[in-house]
């Protein structure tokens, strides 16, 4: 278990949210999948409906506008200076889609897009530090950028967040590099995949039993591929009732 009670270092994935066309349906699905409960008075927080695991925030789900397209889980990088990070994004060739905005007392946020078209957010924490539980079953464990054009992405993220790149020697046949903070901590990676239809920050949740979660996803109205064993654990890609893809993994004990 990883309990997070303080602001994460700059460049660390710290929060995730999802905008969907049918909020009630989404809450039912993710409750069936992960057992999440939901904080009351969602409209008053400005964060959307906050998803709780053992009473602690792990994500948020929000009602999307009817015309919204391509829903995805959006990952937010921690930053001590949302405005400064937004400027670095623009200077490095990215686009700031939503300018830095205060979210009540919770923090300051922005939405952006990198030069290869992948969307992500920035989160300057105040009262809300982000995900308070990570790296345990039914919580966020990893985010990786999947893109058909990895080199501009690698240059962009190293410029904006001062990451270093580290070749993944475990999977030498794949075009995959780890992203590391200046202190050496791995925060995710960039996967160059020529067949990817678009660039996206892929979200992975840890689960206790991948096959059981796959069964629950299908029963709740989602679809999945066939679970596979990898050097990092047993993994499957799921699609929720709105077409949102994400992965689940059971890591070795």
111 and 173: one domain? no
CA distance 71 to 21: 9
- pLDDT 10s digits, 225-242: 999 999 999 999 999 999
Query: Do residue 173 and residue 204 come from a single domain?
Result: yes
Question: What total number of domains does the chain contain?
Answer: 2
Average pLDDT, the chain: 94
Confidence of residue 142 (pLDDT cuts 50, 70, 90): very high
Q: Is 211 in the same domain as 127?
A: no
> Which of 90, 110, 133 corresponds to the end of one domain?
133
The reported pLDDT for the residue numbered 42 is 59
pLDDT, residue 80, reads 98
Among 118, 133, 148, the domain-final residue is 133
Question: 151 and 128 share a domain?
Answer: no
Considering the domain architecture, whether residues 179 and 208 belong to the same structural domain is answered as yes
Instruction: Answer whether 191's CB lies under 8 Å from 120's CB.
Output: no
For residue 59, the enclosing domain spans 2-133
Q: 58 vs 52, 62, 109, 169, 213, CA distance in Å?
A: 6, 14, 17, 31, 18
Distance (Å, rounded) from C-alpha 93 to C-alpha 114? 7
- The answer to whether residues 34 and 116 belong to one domain is yes
Mean of pLDDT values over 41-70: 84
User: Among residues 105, 133, 161, which one ends one of the domains?
Assistant: 133
Secondary structure, 3-state, the chain: CEECCCCCCCCCEEEEEEEECCHHHHHHHHHHHHCCEECCCHHHHCCCEEEEECCEEEEEEEECCCCCCCCCEEEEEECCCHHHHHHHHHHCCCEEEEEEEEECCCEEEEEEECCCCCEEEEEEECCCCCCCEECCCCEEEEEEEEECCHHHHHHHHHHHHCCEEEECCCCCCCEEEEEECCCCCEEEEEEECCCCCCCEEEEEEECCCHHHHHHHHHHCCCEECCCEEECCEEEEEEECCCCCEEEEEECCC
CA–CA separation, 2 and 25 (whole Å)? 29
Do residues 124 and 189 both lie within one domain? Answer: no
- In terms of pLDDT, which residue wins out, 202 or 69? 202
Lowest mean pLDDT, pick from 6-15, 42-51, 119-128, 193-202? 42-51
Backbone angles phi, psi at 154, to 5 degrees: -65, -40
Q: What is the CATH number of the domain that holds 7?
A: 3.10.180.10
The CA distance from 194 to 218, in Å, is: 29
Residues 14 and 122 in one domain: yes
Q: Check whether residue 125 and residue 143 sit in a common domain.
A: no
pTM for the structure as a whole? 0.95
- Both 109 and 219 in one domain: the answer is no
């Amino acid at each position: 278990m990883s309990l997070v009670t303080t602001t994460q270092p700059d460049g660390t994935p710290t929060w995730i949210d999802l905008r969907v066309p049918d909020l009630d349906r989404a809450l039912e699905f993710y409750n069936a999948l992960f057992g999440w409960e939901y904080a009351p008075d969602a409209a008053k927080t400005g964060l959307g409906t906050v998803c709780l695991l053992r009473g602690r925030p792990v994500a948020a789900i929000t009602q999307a506008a009817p015309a919204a397209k391509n829903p995805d889980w959006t990952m937010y990088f921690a930053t001590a200076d949302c405005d400064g990070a937004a400027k670095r994004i623009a200077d490095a060739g990215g686009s700031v889609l939503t300018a830095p905005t205060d979210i009540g007392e919770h923090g300051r946020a922005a939405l952006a897009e990198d030069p290869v078209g992948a969307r992500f957010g920035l989160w300057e924490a105040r009262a809300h530090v982000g995900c308070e539980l990570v790296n345990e079953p039914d919580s966020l464990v990893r985010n990786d950028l999947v893109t058909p054009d990895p080199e501009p992405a690698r240059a962009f993220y190293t410029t904006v967040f001062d990451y270093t790149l580290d070749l993944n020697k475990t999977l030498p046949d794949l075009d995959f590099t780890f992203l590391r903070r200046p202190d050496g901590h791995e925060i995710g990676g960039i996967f160059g995949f020529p067949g990817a239809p678009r660039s996206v920050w892929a979200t992975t949740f840890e689960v206790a039993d991948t096959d059981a979660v796959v069964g629950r996803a299908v029963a709740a109205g989602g679809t999945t591929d066939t679970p596979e064993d990898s050097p990092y654990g047993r993994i499957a890609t799921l699609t929720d009732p709105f077409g949102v893809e994400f992965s689940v993994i059971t890591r070795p004990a």
